[in-house]
Structure 1
Amino acid sequence: MCAPDRCDARFGGRLVTDQYRADDVSLAAPAIAAPGTVQRLSARSLVVDPIKRLGTFALPLAAAFVISGHFTVDRAAYYGLAGGLLSIAYSLIRWATFRYALHDNRLDITSGLLARKSRSIPLDRIRGVDLTASPMHRLMRLVVVRVDAAAGGTGRADEGVLDAVTAAEGARLRRLLLARRSAAPAADAEAPEVAQVPGRDDQPRTVLARVRRSWFLMSPLTGAYLFAPLALLGTIWGWVAQSDTIGQRQVQGAAAWLVADPWLVGFAALAFLVLGFPIASVAMTALLNWDFTVRGTPDALELERGLLTRRHVTLERRRLRGWELVEALPARMVRAGRLRALVTGIGAESHHSRAELLPVAPVERAYALAVTTVGARPETLTAHPRAALRRRLFRAIVPWTVLAIAAFATGAPEAGVPLLALALLGIPLGVDRYRSLGHAYDGELVSVRGGSWSRRTVVLQRRAVVGWQVRQTIFQRRQQVATLVVGVGAGSGGYAATDMDADSVATFAHEVTPRWLAPFVSEEATPAEPTR
């Protein structure tokens, strides 16, 4: 067991499918196995697993047959039968050799035939229990259980995966793992002594926000999944590069066609850019965030989303440390953005997927949800010095101007004119980047804002601050500015207030954490810049 002030801070939200919620009547009372009972995966996984594994290489194999010109019905049937038998045999061996057992203080998982692998996950190291179900799993009433353990590493190496168990068994495991984990001493000194199980069936649920379908049309402006078509282009390019039937003659013919009719090619590329990217962005956003709903209980937030695979994320309120609003430059024209919660115990890799409160929404709706769930919205931010404006104008204008002068000097005005236009566009961009800068502290919440192409407003609770870092380059020292990074145990781990007045950096940090910075601050505090 861990100390009362350290145990739960490492743990994060859980992900479960909506179809198999713990309060489902059919799953309310699954059979209870005695602690330490060795169990197998569901036998129904022998139906899903071979199909899933066969599908991973069936399409590439069929494409290889077609491209090579050796495709015949008999050959396809032969290889298909062989692949099916191998998939069934592999799945059967995997099912027969896989065991798991839930003890009072750990979860044991054993698998493998030739290379035996055993793993023991202490319950007080569990950060989250995820239940996911693909359409095939949902058809067979199965779920995949992923136990995310705080093992100090990254990726799936820190997970215990049970693929797959029945929906009732998955609900039972999730309930027991979270109940026993919550029974451990609370992580926070300010947390209640008796921890409750988030998402209990007897807790009232209130709908705090629901994403409207019309909001998906704003997703291309927020940058969400905007570059999804590039994945398709990459797949096509890889197929062409690996194809033996497309040789030098075909490539030369395609190049000649492009040169012969460049206007048609340009029109097609423009149509793909204007139509393909936004349509793909809207489709992906709707697929992953269909019927996105935020519900609140006294001690947790429940997020439900997904069209094909319904997902249910539970975030404990006692682990919420702040929120982050991301506004892309195009989205700011329609006042739209994305809202994320800053939660302790969730790694930076899964922060964007697990802690997303609103994937796309009007800014005022995002602010309203942030205030309801975490804390107040900052009314004003302290402006950064004029030196920050000069630095942004210099970086936005001077490089393009130098290139434009070089182009005109070398007799290439056709290149100089666009470069000069970019230099002129740098003026409003630099001003906007400066106006986006700001920081504030109201006695409870620390606020930091910055960025232009993607403006980020971060509001943190004071107790979330775990450290400070001051950065100052040689160019910043000449302008007497510095960057103050707020270290936190949530989200990305640190958020920067760029180009603050160098004399007020220590004063601001001392105002938030006076005991830490007392030796570095004089008795006469430096006055802050005027607010806007």
Structure 2
Amino acid sequence: MRGALDAEEARAAEVAGPAEAEWRRLDARIIWVVTLWGSGLALVTLAIMWWRNAPWWLIAPVPVPLVCGIGYEALRWFKTRYRLTSTHVELKTGLLTRTHRSIPRNRVRSVDVTANPLHRVLRLALVRVGTGHRVSSTKAAVLSLNALSAADAEELRAGLVRRAGTGEQRAIARLDWRWLRFGPLSFATPLLGLSAVGATYETLDILGFDPDNVLIPDLIDWLGEANLLPVIVLGVLGLLLAGALGALGWYVETWWDFRLIREPHGALRASRGLFVTRSATLEEERLHGVEVAEPLMLRLGGGAYTYAVATGAGSTDDEASTFNTSALLPPAPIEESHRVAAAVLREERDPTASVRLVPHPRHALARRVRWAFFCGLGLGGVLVGLGVWLTPVLAHIGWVSALVVWVAGVLFARDGYRSLGHGITGRYVVTRHGSLKRRTIALRRSGVIGWTVTQWAWHRRSTLCRVTATTPGGRGAYHVKDVLMGEGLGFADEAVPGVLTPFLVRRGGTRGADDQGLS
């Protein structure tokens, strides 16, 4: 054991040098990045102002922010130092207020290397070192180095994630262009279509075509004489087509040349990106499980996302985030998601697919139907009330809206209820919930360090509760929702014996799950 530790320390020393390693500057070419970005923005601003015949006293100050930005970046570069020792990675920065941040190397959980188009032209990269520790509910502790040369960034990444291990690099998954069909299967597609319309309007306004007084009045006059039904149908199809093209473009840019590989020293590395390249490295020993997420539109098309459940990983709620280190696969067929999940966990089969989930009681369905009823009643009641006060048109809109919400709510309630389930298979606990985004999560039982049992006032009559698994550095989002109290406590106690035992009271001296309660 001691020999292995000595060997690891020796390898770390090869990369980092002595404990008192010299402080190094960031790459000075980062100043050129700011200069080029600022110059491009200033030129576009000057061109628009010239086109709009702006007075000279508005044009003259345009270069001032550019000069200030370049000066600030030069000072920041001059006052920033970093070093990698055999035990820590350290960063000193700040102009008016100096900060010195130090992260022990054994606390590093993820290393992300990102390069936007200008970074790539100048052969630079942004390195973000994550520890998994959260300084607030929305902000993680991350040390950022903007920017290093591409070679230095790769050397730093390799040094921070290097661990004892032998073997060859092995590819787990690569992008298949047949998966492109999953790109438009998102609720964001119509929003992208509306964004295209808004961007067109803003562009025309900036260029001086005045759409409010020219384009829109002509469009209103034309609609007054046209047959509205085909116009509405063609308009909706046009928006969906524009949104689909935008979604395809987003998919290509985000997932271009995607590769998921397992490195010899026990780390998972996912790289992707066309214009902005991203490379996220996650230590395999920090992996606690996987999540297979199926947003509704993607699920109807037979696809899914695959995420890592790991200390220091990014949020699974932001699929295309630049710094999302949890993504293990782009939107892909559900079979491929299960294959990759099994390969990442080094299992023969994906636990999320092989487990037999226990269904939840009918009380959970009734609760969801009640929520749908009250939502429809609230929306319809407000609109009907406004209609009685203002105009009968709103009253008609109110009862129609309530009816639509009730019908859609019942459908979603049934789907959400059918998605509920939990189970145990081998080394894993599995939980599933959600309708608009169904999430199936497999957690290693050894990675669960505690349970949280929550019961709201509207739960108590039906004896339902929510049981949440807690993992090291986790976000506390691994729920068993709307389960009977006794059944949920029995599941948690069986999954991780001994954690809940001091808090359980068994009535009648039996060990039945239905007889259990919290002390």
Q: Same fold (TM over 0.5)?
A: yes
User: Match for 1:287 among 247, 253, 260?
Assistant: 253
Instruction: Map 1:293-312 to 2 at 5 A.
Output: 293-297=259-263, 299-312=266-279
Instruction: Indicate how the Cα distance of structure 1 residues 300 and 413 shifts in structure 2: closer, same or farther if over 3 A, else same.
Output: same
1:438 to 2:421 alignment? yes
Residue equivalent to 2:288: 321
SS at match of 2:499: helix
Distance 2:126 2:152 in 1: 10
Q: For 1:342, which of 288, 300, 309 is the aligned residue?
A: 309
CA distance in 2 between partners of 1:438 and 1:415 (Å): 36
- Identify which range, 464-473 or 284-293, moves more after superposition: 464-473
- Corresponding residue number in structure 1 for 2:123: 141
Structure 1 residues 139, 436: CA separation in 2 closer, same or farther (over 3 Å shift)?
A: same
Are the aligned partners of 1:54 and 1:87 in contact in 2 as well (CA < 8 Å)?
no
- The percent of aligned pairs where both chains have the same amino acid is 28
Within the candidate set 54, 57, 64, 1:70 is matched to 54
Distance 1:35 1:225, change over 3 A: farther
Report the alpha carbon displacement of residue 446 of structure 1 after superposing the two structures with TM.
Answer: 0.8
| Cα-to-partner distance string for 1:326-352 (whole Å, 9 max, x where unaligned) | 112222222211111101133548985
1:215 aligns with 2:182: no
User: For residues 89 and 398 of structure 1, what CA distance do their matches in structure 2 show?
Assistant: 58
Greater alpha carbon shift after TM alignment, 439-448 vs 347-356: 347-356
Q: Which SS does the other structure have where 2:184 is aligned?
A: helix
TM-score, structure 2 normalization: 0.77
1:384 and 2:360 correspond:
yes
Q: How does 1:56-95 map to 2 (within 5 A)?
A: 56-60=41-45, 62-64=47-49, 66-67=51-52, 69-70=53-54, 88-95=70-77
1:102–1:230 distance in 2 versus 1, CA, 3 Å: farther
The answer on 1:40 being equivalent to 2:21 is no
Q: Give unpaired runs (5+ residues) of structure 2.
A: 1-13, 515-519
Deviations 1:396-455 (A, max 9, x none): 356547877996998866764564355344444322221111111234211111111211
1:244 and 1:47 map into 2 onto residues whose CA distance is 30
Query: Partner letter of residue 22 of structure 2?
Result: T
Alignment of 1:441-460 (within 5 A): 441-460=424-443
Cα displacement string for residues 220-259 of structure 1 (whole angstroms, at most 9, x for unaligned residues): 2244676445656676788899x89899x94799478547
Q: Hey, what does 2:511 align to over in structure 1?
A: 525
| Structure-1 separation of matches of 2:94 and 2:414 | 60
Deviation at 1:208? 1.7
Using a 3 Å threshold, how does the CA distance of structure 1 residues 107 and 518 change in structure 2: closer, same or farther? closer
How many residues of Structure 1 are paired with residues of Structure 2 in the alignment? Answer: 475
Matched, 1:506 2:472: no
Q: Classify 1:123/1:240 alpha carbon distance in 2 versus 1 (closer, same or farther; 3 Å).
A: farther
Query: Are 1:196 and 2:164 an aligned pair?
Result: yes
- Partner of 1:330 in structure 2? 297
Counterpart AA for 1:504: E
Segment drifting more, 517-526 vs 441-450? 517-526
Amino acid of the structure 1 residue aligned with 2:326: A
CA contact (8 A) 2:112 2:325 kept: no
Alpha-carbon distance between aligned partners in 1 of 2:285 and 2:294, rounded to the nearest angstrom: 27
Q: Which residue of 2 aligns with 1:8?
A: none
User: Equivalents in 1 of 2:139, 2:494: separation in Å?
Assistant: 40
Separation of aligned partners in 1, 2:468 and 2:46: 51
Structure 1 distance, partners of 2:252, 2:378, is 45
Q: Once the two structures are superposed, what CA deviation does each residue of 1:340-380 show, in whole Å capped at 9, x if it has no partner?
A: 11011335489851111112011111111112212542431
Matched AA of 2:331: V
**Relative contact order higher in (CA < 8 Å, ≥ 6 apart):** 1
Q: Aligned letter for 1:196?
A: A
- 1:480-499 mapped onto 2 (5 Å cutoff): 480-489=463-472, 492-499=475-482
Deviates more, 1:339-348 or 1:91-100: 91-100
What's 1:466 paired with?
449
Distance in 2 (CA, whole Å) between partners of 1:402 and 1:348 is: 33
Structure 1: give runs of 5+ residues left out of the alignment.
1-28, 180-194
Classify 1:364/1:490 alpha carbon distance in 2 versus 1 (closer, same or farther; 3 Å).
farther
Post-superposition CA distance 1:297-341 (Å, at most 9, x none) = 452222121112332222222111111111122222222111111
Equivalent residue letter for 1:205: Q
1:100 to 57, 82, 91: 82
Structure 1 residues 70 and 449, CA, compared in 2 at 3 Å: closer, same or farther? same
CA distance in 2, matches of 1:233, 1:478: 50
Distance of 1:31 and 1:510 partners within structure 2? 45
- The alignment partner of 1:129 has SS state of strand
In structure 1, what is the Cα distance between the partners aligned to 2:132 and 2:409?
45
**Cα RMSD (Å) of the superposition?**
4.1
Contact 2:376-2:401 within 8 A present in 1 as well: no
**Change in 2 beyond 3 A, CA 1:444/1:301:** same
Correspondence for 1:120: 101
**Residues 331 and 66 of structure 1, relative CA distance in 2, 3 Å threshold:** same
Structure 1 distance, partners of 2:449, 2:46, is 53
Q: What is the deviation of 1:280?
A: 1.4
Aligned-partner Cα distance in 1 for 2:360–2:132: 39
- CA contact under 8 A between 2:132 and 2:313: conserved in structure 1? no
Deviations for 1:50-84, whole angstroms, at most 9, x for unmatched residues?
A: 113333554445445545x3178x997x7677666
Matches within 5 A, 1:402-421: 416-417=399-400, 419-421=402-404
Question: 169, 173, 176: which one pairs with 1:205?
Answer: 169
Q: Given residue 102 of structure 2, which amino acid in structure 1 is its aligned partner?
A: I
